[in-house]
């Protein structure tokens, strides 16, 4: 199955890219500083956006200042009683001031029409530029005596002011979304305490190499990806993985650069630096996802082009109609300009890219990493989710699931005695029994002697009494039976059952299996609430699979499936449903590629899972439900924005054309600009309201 995703850069401000570039263009990056390559790129784009924002603010302020005398010199104001603002040459001063506003305040729009026409994609800038140019040329011709009538420089100036203000407000909202990457960049500290000899030295993070050791003090951020070499602590990884609770770290545990250290000092051995770090990979994934094209964006672009064609056509028809009706050239020009301004597809150009930016950043902060934008969009239409079992729905390690008691013993008695003997063994079953005692808060009993019985169990002496933990074979050899009807059903579920012997008497039993994650049940429940069928693939026996499926209330399961057969099973399910495969990204790789949406779960710091469309950082199957829910919410926001950005034109354009002129309702170009800008701000605010 082959997938493709576009990578064309989208200008979030709907075509308002003023082409402000940082001096020097792209920066050369030394290989040793590869880890810093992405952050400067991010900062550069952020700086460009802030530069454009400041440029619009400055042009707005200057234009407003110039608009004041334009209003005072305009006919509607100077004819008011008590305001005789006329003098020889006042009309030419008015022309000069209006020209300044047109050229300086209107420059972003005049430059924009050139770019759009060169690209043969007329859009918002084309409409605004045509509107203000027609108004300026007509009003100038009136002042110069070339045509009769009354100019409307004051409307031209206020139109430009409002358009600049609308762009400024909108770009502030857009900048809020674009800051997501910069926030991720700021998470990583710039310096580290490298351990040298008997002390430490502060060095730039760029100078660290794998194998170096760094000291992380309480309250500091971990500077690199690595492994705890000395000390114990807890770290807050919420900014990186979405995990709100502090995570305990001890020697041998991995830590992520950018995580906040808790109460203990630790020494971390550096494993990854630069572009290989988790954070650098996340930043790269977020950037690529935000810049990638989506099918919905293509729809929005086509709609915007159609809207431009409609606006220009309706504007021309409006001018011709009012001129033919004898309302005068000035009135006809004003109506046509208002139509073109109010129909600007600015909100349409912003509707999808801003939602994309917000959703991608939200996902990254929650440990949901989107590698393929189109796959993320497909997630909203999923009908079935197929889970791998081991390590996905289960923990991938043995644990005690059931405790049997015989002869009056309590569960705690059985677990304590069994764990006291098993504590001296390294067998997975032994570790599971000891872990069960720890979870119950039970103290172990001192063991006098210990002996392993190969293939059958272990035995020892506690306070002079023989105690053994043995399998069913050991009992069979000695002709012992439990006589308990609970044992056989547990064995049919594929569980391993061991028995506790004390003084040669059977006092208890422990059933062990791959532990089902506590979160798995909730994940299945959430998916079913969305109307999605839940299935499981496993190489385990039918009995084991049936037990897990029953515990989780799965709709279907496939047992005894070898790794190379998983893709075929997914293909089989695809004949009935649109399918997501959720697995660990290793032996599940073919199935992840085959599925309509491939989801790698529990990737931790390894986000470069090439076979997956979406990477879930945590070993939490609920995140599979969360990413599907986010896909649905994202599409809903896109649809809402597109509906608003196009729908309001159905009412606004006829009003702008003057269909209710007879009823005394007439929109000026400035009023049209207010409505257009308001629609843009509504779209921006709606996008920012998206939540995981």
Cβ neighbours for 86, distance < 8 A, ≥ 6 positions apart: 73, 78
User: What are the CA-CA distances from residue 149 to residues 96, 145, 190, 501 (Å)?
Assistant: 19, 9, 66, 110
Angle at 13 between CA 8 and CA 17, to 5 degrees: 75
User: What does the CA dihedral 484, 490, 496, 499 come to, rounded to 10 degrees?
Assistant: -20
Residue 16: both structure tokens together: 């308002």
CB-based contacts of 396-399 (< 8 A; 24+ apart in sequence)? 396/514, 397/428, 397/432, 397/514, 397/515, 398/428, 398/429, 398/431, 398/432, 398/496, 398/512, 398/513, 398/514, 398/515, 399/432, 399/435, 399/436, 399/512, 399/513, 399/514, 399/515
Angle at 178 between CA 673 and CA 623, to 5 degrees: 120
Q: Give the residue numbers marked as catalytic.
A: 388
User: What are the CA-CA distances from residue 22 to residues 11, 44, 47 (Å)?
Assistant: 17, 7, 8
Contact between 253 and 228 (Cβ < 8 Å): yes
User: What are the CA-CA distances from residue 135 to residues 90, 220, 318 (Å)?
Assistant: 19, 60, 15
Neighbours of 687 (CB within 10 A): 27
Cα distance between residue 106 and residue 44, in whole Å:
26
For 610, left (φ over 0), alpha (ψ -120 to 50), or beta?
A: alpha
| Positive or negative torsion for Cα 353, 358, 361, 362 | negative
Cα distance between residue 200 and residue 202, in whole Å:
7
Neighbours of 243 (CB within 10 A): 18
Listed residue (96, 41, 490, 459) closest to 290, CA to CA: 41
Listed residue (328, 325, 490, 318) closest to 404, CA to CA: 490
3-state secondary structure of 556: strand
Cα distance between residue 453 and residue 563, in whole Å:
34
Listed residue (292, 288, 290) closest to 280, CA to CA: 288
For 664, left (φ over 0), alpha (ψ -120 to 50), or beta?
A: left
């Amino acid at each position: 199955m082959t997938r493709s995703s576009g990578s064309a850069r989208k200008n979030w401000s709907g075509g308002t890219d003023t082409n402000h570039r940082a001096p020097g263009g792209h920066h050369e990056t030394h290989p040793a500083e590869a880890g810093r390559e992405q952050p400067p790129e991010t900062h550069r784009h952020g700086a460009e956006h802030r530069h454009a924002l400041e440029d619009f603010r400055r042009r707005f302020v200057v234009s407003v200042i110039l608009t004041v005398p334009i209003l005072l010199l305009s006919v509607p104001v100077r004819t008011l009683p008590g305001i005789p603002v006329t003098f020889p040459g006042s009309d030419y001063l008015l022309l000069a001031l209006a020209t300044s506003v047109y050229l300086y305040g209107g420059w972003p729009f005049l430059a924009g029409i050139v770019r759009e026409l060169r690209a043969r994609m007329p859009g918002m800038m084309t409409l605004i530029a045509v509107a203000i140019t027609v108004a300026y040329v007509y009003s100038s011709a009136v002042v110069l005596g070339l045509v009769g009538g009354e100019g409307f420089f004051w409307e031209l100036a206020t139109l430009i002011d409002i358009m600049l203000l609308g762009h400024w407000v909108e770009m502030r909202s857009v900048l809020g979304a674009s800051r997501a990457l910069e926030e991720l960049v700021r998470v990583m500290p710039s310096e580290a305490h490298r351990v040298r000899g008997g002390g430490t030295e502060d060095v730039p993070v760029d100078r660290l190499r794998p194998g170096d050791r760094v000291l992380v003090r309480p309250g500091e951020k971990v500077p690199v990806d690595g492994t705890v070499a000395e000390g114990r602590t807890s770290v807050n990884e919420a900014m990186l993985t979405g995990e709100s609770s502090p995570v305990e770290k001890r020697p041998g545990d991995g830590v992520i650069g950018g995580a906040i250290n808790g109460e203990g000092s630790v020494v971390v051995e550096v494993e990854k630096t630069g572009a290989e770090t988790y954070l650098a990979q996340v930043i790269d994934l977020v950037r690529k996802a935000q810049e990638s094209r989506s099918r919905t964006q293509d729809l929005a672009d086509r709609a915007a082009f159609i809207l431009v064609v409609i606006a220009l056509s309706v504007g021309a028809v409006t001018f011709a109609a009012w001129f033919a009706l004898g309302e005068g050239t000035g009135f006809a020009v004003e109506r046509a300009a208002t139509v073109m301004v109010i129909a600007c597809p600015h909100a349409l150009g912003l509707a999808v890219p801003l939602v994309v930016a917000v959703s991608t950043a939200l996902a990254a902060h929650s440990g949901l990493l989107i590698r393929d934008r189109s796959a993320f969009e497909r997630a909203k239409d999923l009908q079935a989710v197929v889970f791998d079992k081991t390590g996905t729905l289960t923990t991938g390690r043995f644990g005690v699931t059931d405790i049997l008691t015989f002869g009056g013993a309590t569960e705690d008695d059985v677990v304590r005695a069994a764990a006291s003997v098993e504590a001296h063994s390294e067998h997975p079953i032994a570790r599971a029994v000891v872990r069960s005692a720890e979870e119950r808060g039970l103290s172990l009993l001192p063991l006098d002697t210990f002996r392993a019985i190969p293939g059958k169990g272990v035995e020892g002496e506690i306070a002079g009494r023989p105690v053994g933990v043995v399998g069913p074979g050991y009992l069979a050899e000695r002709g012992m039976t439990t006589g308990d009807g609970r044992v056989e059903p547990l064995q049919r579920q594929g569980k391993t059952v061991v028995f506790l012997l004390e003084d040669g008497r059977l006092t208890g039993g422990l059933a062990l299996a791959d532990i089902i994650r506590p979160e798995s049940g909730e994940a299945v429940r959430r998916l079913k609430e969305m109307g999605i069928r839940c299935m499981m693939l496993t190489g385990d026996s039918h009995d084991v699979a049936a037990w897990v499926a029953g515990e989780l209330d799965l709709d279907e399961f496939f047992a005894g499936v070898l790794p190379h057969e998983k893709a075929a099973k997914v293909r089989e399910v695809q004949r009935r449903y649109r399918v997501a495969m959720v697995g660990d990204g290793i032996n599940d790789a073919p199935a992840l590629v085959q599925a309509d949406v491939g989801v790698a779960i529990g990737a931790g710091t390894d986000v470069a899972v090439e076979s997956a469309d979406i990477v879930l950082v945590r070993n939490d199957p609920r995140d599979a439900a969360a990413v599907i829910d986010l896909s649905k919410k994202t599409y809903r926001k896109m649809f809402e924005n597109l509906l608003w950005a196009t729908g309001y034109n159905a009412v606004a354009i006829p009003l702008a054309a003057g269909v209710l002129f007879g009823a005394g309702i007439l929109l000026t170009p400035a009023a049209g600009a207010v409505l257009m800008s308001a629609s843009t701000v509504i779209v921006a605010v709606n996008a920012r309201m998206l939540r995981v």
